[in-house]
A and B are shown apart, each in its own frame.
Chain A
C-alpha cells in the first residue's frame, strides 16, 4: 500500500515537476511569478483535446501541435502582458496584476466560448497498467514520468551546454550586465517563454489525459507553482525536487489522512517551508542588493 502510494506520488510529482520547471524558468529571468502560466497549460490541454478529437490527429502529432501552440501562447503572453512593463521597469506588483488579469481573461474566455463542461480525452492509455514490483502503475503515469524527465533533462542540457542556454543563464543572473555583454534581452526572454510554453504544452496534454480538460484546471497548476517555490524558484533541479516532494506528500496525505485537506496541506506545507527557508530548498540567492 505504502509503495503504491509512493509510486502514484512520483507520477503526480513528475507532472508537477514539469510545470514547476516552466514557472521556475520564467521566474529566473523576469524575477516574478507568472501566475498566467497555469492558464497557458489549461489552454494547451484544450488544444491537445481538439487536435485529438476534432482533427483526429495521431497522438504524437497532437503532442507536437499542442507544444507549439502553447509556445506561441506563452510568447504572446509575454509580448502583450509584460514586455511594456519590463521596458518601463515597473514594480513587481504590476507584473503580478497583469499576470492575474491574463489568467482571468483566458480562463473565462474558455468558459464563455467552449463552456464549463469537462472534456475527456479519447482513452489512450487510461486502463492499462504495468506491474512494478509489488505495486502497479498506470501506463499513462509511467509515460508521463518518462516524458517529463526526458523533457527536463533535455532542457537542462540545453541551458547548460549551448550558447543560447548560456545567454539565458547570464541574463537570469544579471540582465543589465548580460545586455552590456551583447545578450539580446528581448530575444532571450522570448526564448524562455517559448521554452516554458513547450513544457506547458506537454504538461497540458498529460493533465488532459489524466484529469480531462476544464476551465479551472489552473488550480492544479497552482500546486505546480507551490512545488516550484518549495524547490526554490529559479532553480531547475529545485523545481524537480519540489515537484516530487509535493506529489509524494500529497498522495500520502490523501491516502492516510483525508483527500479533502490535501490542498490545504500543500499550502500549509509551503508556508512552513518558506518560514524556515525563505528562498526554498535550492533557491537562488535572494538577498536584495542595497
Chain B
C-alpha cells in the first residue's frame, strides 16, 4: 500500500513522461527522514509531517532535475545521473548528524495504519489522475511520444519534465513518510538503488502509460513476498526476469497505455483497440 504511493509518482514520471529514474529511492529517503525528524525531534503531528516530507522531497528533486533536465540530456544519461544522485543522497544521509548517520533513526511511532495509508494512496492517485488527464499530462505524453514534435507544438521540454519530476518526487516523499512510520526505524542503506529498481519494476509490470496498472502491480508485488518471506533472494531474481519478459513479450504491461476502468467503461471499436496493441508493440510501421 505504501509502496504504491511512491509507485504512483514514478508511474507519472516514467509512464507518462518517458524518462527512467534510478534515483527515486532518494526521494523516498528524503521524505522518510523529513517526516521522521518532524515527528521524533520536533514532535510535530504525523499529519503535519506528511506535507513537509512531500515538499522536501519535491525540493530535492529540483536539485537534480534543474541541471540535468535543462541540459536536455539523452534519456540514458539522465538515468545514470539519477543513479549517481541516489547514491549521493545516501552518502549524505550517512554523514549528517541530524539523520544520525549510518545508524539511522529508530523507535519512531507507528502512525502508518492501513486506513491512513489507503486514504493517502487514494488522494495521491486522485491527484495523479487529474495531473495526467489535464493539459499538463497531455504535454508530458506528447514529449514521451515525440519530443521534437512536442517542442514544435510549443511545449517547453524542461518545464514539463521538471514538473513531472517534482510531482513524482512529492508522491515519493509521501510514500517515504508513511514508510518511516510503518517500520518505525530508518537507515540510509534501506534506500539503495535496489529500492528504485523495485519501483520501476512495478511501473513496468503494471504498464507504462497507465496509473491504475502500476498501483495494482505494486499492491501485488508487495503482498506476494509477504507470504513468501523465505524466498527473499529469489524474489529479486524473479523481478528481473519479469522485467525482461515483459519488455520482450508484452511491453505494454498489464494495462499499458490504458486504465483499468477503460476496460469496462469505454468500449472501443475493435479496430482501434487492435491498433493500440500493435503500436504499443513497437510501432515499426513508421
Contacts and interface: CB of A to CB of B under 8 A. Distances in A.
- State yes or no: do A and B touch (Cβ within 8 Å): yes
B67 interface: yes
23 contacts: A84-B248, A85-B247, A91-B18, A93-B19, A96-B20, A96-B79, A98-B244, A100-B22, A103-B240, A104-B236, A104-B240, A107-B236, A107-B240, A112-B234, A222-B83, A260-B91, A264-B84, A264-B91, A266-B84, A268-B88, A270-B80, A274-B81, A288-B148
Interface residues of B, number: 52
Contact of B242 (A84, A101, A111, A290): A101
A271 B91 contact: no
A164 interface: no
Interface of A: 32-33, 80-81, 84-85, 87-98, 100-109, 111-112, 222, 225-226, 229, 260-261, 263-264, 266-268, 270-271, 274-275, 278, 286, 288, 290
Given A89-B283, A225-B80, A266-B84, A105 B248 contact: no
A75 B85 CA distance: 31
A98 B84 contact: no
Contacts of B240: 101-109
Contact of A105 (B68, B83, B84, B237): B237
Given A81-B244, A101-B247, A267-B87, A92 B75 contact: yes
Nearest to A289: B148
Contact of A98 (B75, B237, B247, B282): B247
Given A264-B87, A267-B88, A271-B68, A108 B236 contact: yes
A232 to B, nearest CB: 11
Interface of B: 14, 18-20, 22, 67-68, 71-77, 79-81, 83-85, 87-88, 91, 94-95, 148, 194, 197, 200-201, 204, 208, 233-234, 236-237, 239-248, 251, 281-284, 286
Q: Which of B194, B200, B237, B247 counts the most chain A CB atoms within 10 A? A: B247
B76 A270 contact: no
Contacts of B248: 80-81, 84-85, 98
Contact of A260 (B18, B95, B245): B95
